A = this chain, B = another copy of it.
């Protein structure tokens, strides 16, 4: 998993306006992060509950369907959730000027 995670981190780092990246395992523990610890833990906990809800809603509408990506736009930034089998990646992106 580690090499794959490193590849993903490199990929997301190369994106424009990325303010932070957190890689979170399926227990909700941040295993890699460019944010400081407290914020990483906060993102991990909140984003895990959101990811669970989104997955459940997609399954609820069609039991053969599956969530592959989620993006939220907020007043201050965009938050992307990229679910993988054993972990998921949160990317926080500042709006482009």
A interface residue numbers (CB < 8 A to B): 42-43, 46-47, 49-50, 53-54, 57-58, 60-62, 64-76, 79
Contact = CB atoms under 8 A, between A and B. Distances in A.
A20 B62 CA distance: 15
A64 B49 CA distance: 20
Interface SS majority for chain A:
mixed
Contact of A49 (B53, B70, B71, B76): B53
List the 9 closest pairs (A to B, CB-CB), nearest first. A69-B73, A53-B53, A46-B57, A50-B57, A71-B71, A68-B73, A66-B75, A70-B72, A65-B74
Contacts of A47: 57
Contact of A61 (B43, B53, B64): B43
